[in-house]
Amino acid sequence: MIRRAPRNLVIFVLVIGILAVGFAAFGQQVSKSLHPNLAAAQNFIERAINKIEAAQKENEFDMNGHAAKAKALLDQAFAEVKLAAQAANANQ
């Protein structure tokens, strides 16, 4: 018989993985002086992630993985904003 991992354990491992990726992305802040709009976008993304994390805690992470997926997509958006700034720097 195959044992399935408890749902909370699976969600916990998923959240830890996403947070690890997120912390790597947040180390790549856009310069506010060079790209104020892109830096503001990153700030909004960070705020959205924080709100999702608060919602997850309030709901004991029981959101069928949707909140975790939203955070992963926001992490990706954060990194893309950094890449946009780098591309703008290269084109100057």
Query: pLDDT tens-digit profile of 58-86?
Result: 998 889 999 999 999 999 999 999 999 99
pLDDT tens-place string over residues 17-66: 665 555 555 558 999 999 999 999 999 999 999 999 999 999 988 899 99
**64 vs 4, higher pLDDT:** 64
Residue 17 in domain = yes
> Is residue 82 situated within a structural domain?
yes
CA torsion, points 27, 32, 38, 39, in degrees to nearest 10? Answer: 50
User: What is this structure's pTM?
Assistant: 0.69
- Give the Cα separation of 72 and 39 in Å (integer): 19
Range of the domain at 17: 7-90
Number of domains the chain contains: 1
Is 1 among the domain residues? no
